[in-house]
Amino acid sequence: MNLTINHDAEVLTIDQPGGRRDVPLYSREAFELISREWVRVGWSLRYYHTFSWFGRPILQLPEDLIRLQEVVYEIRPDVIVETGVFDGGSLLFHASLCQAMNKGRVIGIDVEIRAGVREALSEHPLSHRIRLIEGNSVAPEIVAQVHGLVKSGETALVILDSNHTQAHVAAELEAYAPLVTRGSCIVAADGIMRDLSDVPHGEATWAHDHPAAAAREFLAWHPEFEMRQPEWKVNTSPLTQNVTYWPDGWLWRKA
């Protein structure tokens, strides 16, 4: 697909195998098409490697963090579980929300928690909100350990951001979805991989092997969940779709 912006005519021209058409430049459809390219180009340039939260690198698109904040503020979970710690910024993001709400704690799981990361998190003012677990997120003993840390009746929200193959995310969904309480959700992050198979640093296999495929597969077997992006809390615009790295990633346990 080729996109051409004509600023003077205020038109976006879309060339596709099926033909060519124009849409108004200042329209919802043009915003969505341009955003898709912005996400692809930005990802290839590692735009998401340029952010930190409370002093630690965080590998997320800020748009997703704002949407996640809206969800956390509404659900006010007792516990946020995240697979994939990396440098700890996302755990601090969740912990900072818990701290601001004076409610909740965070459990982070990673196959390798480097000494510098463990040290930085343990010395951080938000450390009392964070519990680290080192190990493969789908290993039975790790899954059991996490389940053991969540008490019956607690509201839990889960974010899957470790290994992003369809098989691994599928296994994580089976392992951690049972923790998710009614009205809460489990997020399979980085389904955007399906749109990145042809960009620099992307991989051809991502066209079919990605977290969104795991989420769709999970949904087919779990009617107690539904897939939808979080409801926008405010919207005076004509827009409706998230600009996101997490398409088809939000799975909600039906109330």
Is residue 29 within 8 A of residue 23, CB to CB? The reply is: yes
- Closer to ligand SAM at the Cβ: 59 or 193? 59
Which residues of this protein are in contact with ligand SAM, per CB under 6 A?
Answer: 58-60, 83-86, 89-90, 109-112, 136-137, 161-163
Q: Give phi and psi for 201, each to the nearest 5.
A: 80, -5
CB of 48 to ligand SAM, least distance (A): 9
**Helix H or strand E encompassing 110:** strand 105-110
Q: How far apart are CA 228 and CA 215, in angstroms?
A: 11
- Closer to ligand SAM at the Cβ: 30 or 161? 161
Q: Enumerate residues 6+ apart whose C-beta is below 8 A from 7.
A: 25
Q: How far apart are CA 104 and CA 102, in angstroms?
A: 7
- Closer to ligand SAM at the Cβ: 112 or 119? 112
CB of 111 to ligand SAM, least distance (A): 4
CB of 157 to ligand SAM, least distance (A): 14
- Closer to ligand SAM at the Cβ: 165 or 229? 165
- Closer to ligand SAM at the Cβ: 86 or 218? 86
| Lookup: tokens for 138 | 């789908």
- Amino acid code (one letter) for 38: W
Q: Give phi and psi for 15, each to the nearest 5.
A: -105, 120
Q: Characterize the bridge pairing of strands 250-253 and 225-227.
A: antiparallel
Q: How far apart are CA 51 and CA 61, in angstroms?
A: 9
CB of 224 to ligand SAM, least distance (A): 25
CB of 212 to ligand SAM, least distance (A): 15
